[in-house]
């Protein structure tokens, strides 16, 4: 029996049905790194796949235009993972139902923009349980779909019938629910539209497989807990992850997880020295920390292990004083301020920066957030930055900086070349020398992504709630998990 069939009866009571309506969305495709819409470009929205070819439908976009989605998965490829691409072909299919709702993050409260929501007659394959190439491909007719707006809301015209599946997905977050669709217009309960908070493939629930290098300063694990990937406890205006509730692995990279009651998977050197262990993860975080294990980077094989893992589809996130894990592994992408080739040379002093948000999708999402996420000060006993000056956003405790991002050209497979260098999400003044620097960047490396923030992703002082830079962290985590064109790594 298929996994979803085993829990269909349990979910059936919450399944709602619909009629009429139009789809919000753009006519064409969304580039995951630019946020722009362009006919014929590769989509950066969620992914899914079936074992073989599935079909799709179109639905109305702004001004009555239409959108279509097609998918074709080569079953001989070994199931490399969900693949989507958005096209602009029109369809005359009529719809007699409509479903509406809001996509939320694993915490059940934070809205998610750009999530893929679709109805299919064939139960889709889930997320591969290890590193994989999330390559965007064209989809064939038969799936009604839409993308959630900046506030997480969506409207999906579809056709009634039983034996269907509702899929809600953003990157490696995916929820598959059996669905009976009737000729009605109904709002879906959040139970069906909230991204999972744990990994349970047998029940159609998928989250990214994450490793965190537990850090001396940057408490990124607390931010992930506040996002819903663990329970948090609040005491004395401090919100911390509760041990044994985390839905990710912790490795010692300057702070031994066991000292705070967490389970340790070993040292970070042990992780990056073992390609088999690396291959177990979709995302690896290296928050701001001491240089305890950076001597591993003197081994060329370790550097190659990391590059191979990212090229295969891994997402590599580095912050602040852990900059060696970016510069010594991917030196062709950026010049770091003060970097002279030695460990610690780019570890500079602290500066705050009133940054400018350059990505329109991120800006729209921040602007659409509920007030409780824009300003955490009512929950705290001291003043913290708030989302109240858009497109400006205060970032605190930048301790390193990028002097410039560099062009990185690779073959595009069609006789030309394409630049896969860093996209700059935020830039702001400060640092040494005083100038406007990129503060948050992502670049493509093969089938994977590299990301760097010059500031702490999560602060080490006491506060309750998600700070503005933690919100940026969460938005980019969701975005860099999306599908992309498969390109060769540079070099």
Residues 308 and 351 in one domain: yes
Separation of alpha carbons 392 and 353, rounded Å: 10
Residues 168 and 225 in one domain: no
Choose the final residue of a domain: 186, 206, 226. 206
Separation of alpha carbons 124 and 51, rounded Å: 7
Please say whether the dihedral angle defined by the alpha carbons of residues 379, 383, 385 and 390, taken in this order, is positive or negative.
positive
**Shortest CA distance to 103 belongs to which of 120, 118, 84?**
118
Cα-based torsion angle of the residue sequence 369, 437, 440, 466 in order, rounded to the nearest 10 degrees = -40
Separation of alpha carbons 193 and 116, rounded Å: 11
Separation of alpha carbons 329 and 300, rounded Å: 9
CA angle (302 as vertex; 441, 347 as ends), nearest 5: 45
The total of other beta-carbon atoms located within 10 Å of residue 263's CB is 11
Q: Give the 3-state secondary structure of 331-350.
A: HHHEEECCCCCCCCCCCCCC
**Shortest CA distance to 419 belongs to which of 27, 87, 28, 31?**
31
Question: Do the Cβ atoms of 324 and 297 come closer than 8 Å?
Answer: yes
Choose the final residue of a domain: 206, 228, 250. 206
Residue 88 placed within a domain: yes
Separation of alpha carbons 180 and 189, rounded Å: 14
> For 414, left (φ over 0), alpha (ψ -120 to 50), or beta?
alpha
Separation of alpha carbons 153 and 330, rounded Å: 38
Residue 491 placed within a domain: no
pLDDT of residue 59: 31
Residues 87 and 217 in one domain: no
Could you list the residue range(s) of the whole structural domain that residue 38 is in? Answer: 3-206
Residue 144 placed within a domain: yes
Choose the final residue of a domain: 156, 171, 206. 206
pLDDT of residue 135: 87
DSSP string, 281-310: -SEEEE-S--STTGGGGGSHHHHHHHHHHH
- Return the CATH number at 99: 2.60.40.10
Residues 89 and 172 in one domain: yes
pLDDT of residue 107: 97
The total of other beta-carbon atoms located within 10 Å of residue 94's CB is 8
Residue 487 placed within a domain: no
What does the pLDDT look like over 450-462, one tens digit per residue? 999 999 888 767 8
Residue 229 placed within a domain: yes
Q: State the residue for tokens 């909230």.
A: 194
Residues 182 and 111 in one domain: yes
The model's pTM: 0.82
Tell me if residue 10 falls in helix, strand or coil. Answer: helix
Residues 414 and 333 in one domain: yes
Mark the ranges of the chain whose per-residue pLDDT is less than 70: 1-93, 137-140, 460
Question: Do the Cβ atoms of 257 and 214 come closer than 8 Å?
Answer: yes
Residue 225 placed within a domain: yes
Residue 485 placed within a domain: no
DSSP string, 41-55: PPP-S---B-SSEE-
Residues 195 and 307 in one domain: no
Q: 162-184: b or e for each residue (b if 16 or more CB lie within 10 Å)?
A: eebbbbbbbbbbbbbbbbebeee
pLDDT of residue 293: 95
Please say whether the dihedral angle defined by the alpha carbons of residues 49, 281, 316 and 320, taken in this order, is positive or negative.
positive
Q: What total of structural domains would you count in the chain?
A: 2
Residues 164 and 289 in one domain: no
pLDDT of residue 153: 98
pLDDT of residue 433: 72
- Return the CATH number at 370: 3.40.50
The total of other beta-carbon atoms located within 10 Å of residue 465's CB is 18
Tell me if residue 215 falls in helix, strand or coil. Answer: coil
Residues 90 and 197 in one domain: yes
Tell me if residue 161 falls in helix, strand or coil. Answer: strand
Tell me if residue 364 falls in helix, strand or coil. Answer: helix
Residues 116 and 18 in one domain: yes
Residue 486 placed within a domain: no
**Shortest CA distance to 265 belongs to which of 211, 305, 222?**
211
Residue 70 is inside which H or E element, if any?
A: strand 66-72
Residues 298 and 250 in one domain: yes
Residues 257 and 351 in one domain: yes
């Amino acid at each position: 029996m298929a996994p979803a069939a085993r829990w269909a009866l349990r979910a059936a009571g919450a399944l709602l049905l619909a009629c009429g309506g139009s789809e919000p969305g753009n006519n064409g495709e969304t580039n995951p790194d630019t946020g722009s819409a362009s006919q014929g470009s590769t989509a950066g929205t969620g992914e899914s796949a079936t074992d073989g070819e599935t079909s799709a439908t179109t639905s109305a976009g702004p001004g009555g235009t239409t959108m279509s989605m097609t998918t074709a998965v080569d079953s001989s490829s070994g199931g490399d993972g969900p693949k989507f691409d958005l096209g602009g072909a029109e369809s005359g299919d009529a719809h007699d139902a409509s479903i509406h709702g809001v996509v939320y993050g694993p915490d059940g409260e934070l809205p998610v923009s750009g999530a893929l929501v679709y109805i299919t007659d064939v139960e889709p394959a889930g997320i591969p349980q290890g590193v994989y190439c999330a390559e965007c491909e064209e989809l064939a007719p038969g799936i009604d779909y839409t993308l959630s707006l900046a506030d997480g809301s969506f409207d999906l015209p579809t056709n009634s019938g039983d034996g269907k599946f509702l899929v809600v997905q953003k990157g490696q977050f995916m929820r598959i629910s059996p669905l009976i669709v009737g000729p009605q217009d109904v709002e879906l309960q959040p139970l069906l539209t909230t991204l999972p908070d744990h990994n349970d493939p047998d029940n159609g629930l998928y989250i990214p497989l994450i490793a965190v290098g537990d850090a001396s300063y940057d408490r990124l694990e607390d931010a992930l807990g506040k996002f819903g990937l663990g329970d948090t406890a609040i005491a004395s205006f401090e919100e911390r992850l509760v041990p044994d509730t985390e839905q990710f692995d912790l490795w010692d990279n300057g702070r031994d997880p066991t000292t705070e009651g967490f389970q340790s998977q070993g040292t970070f050197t042990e992780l990056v020295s073992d390609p088999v262990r690396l291959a177990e993860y979709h995302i690896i975080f290296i928050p701001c920390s001491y240089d305890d294990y950076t001597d591993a980077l003197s081994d060329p094989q370790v550097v190659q292990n990391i590059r191979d893992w990212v090229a295969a589809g891994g997402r590599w996130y580095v912050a602040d004083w852990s900059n060696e894990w970016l510069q010594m592994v991917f030196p062709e992408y950026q010049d770091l301020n003060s970097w002279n080739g030695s460990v610690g040379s780019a570890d500079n002093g602290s500066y705050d920066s009133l940054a400018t948000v350059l990505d329109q999708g991120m800006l729209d999402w921040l602007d659409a957030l509920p007030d409780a996420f824009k300003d955490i000060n009512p929950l705290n006993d001291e003043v913290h930055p708030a989302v109240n000056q858009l497109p400006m956003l205060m970032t605190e405790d930048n301790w390193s900086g990028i002097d410039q991002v560099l062009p990185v050209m690779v073959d595009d497979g069609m006789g030309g070349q394409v630049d896969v260098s860093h996209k700059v999400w935020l830039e702001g003044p400060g640092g040494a020398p005083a100038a406007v620097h990129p503060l948050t960047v992502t670049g493509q490396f093969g089938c994977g992504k590299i990301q760097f923030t010059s500031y702490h992703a999560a602060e080490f002082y006491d506060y309750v709630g998600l700070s503005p830079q933690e919100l940026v962290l969460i938005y980019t985590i969701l975005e860099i998990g999306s599908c992309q064109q498969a390109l060769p790594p540079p070099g």
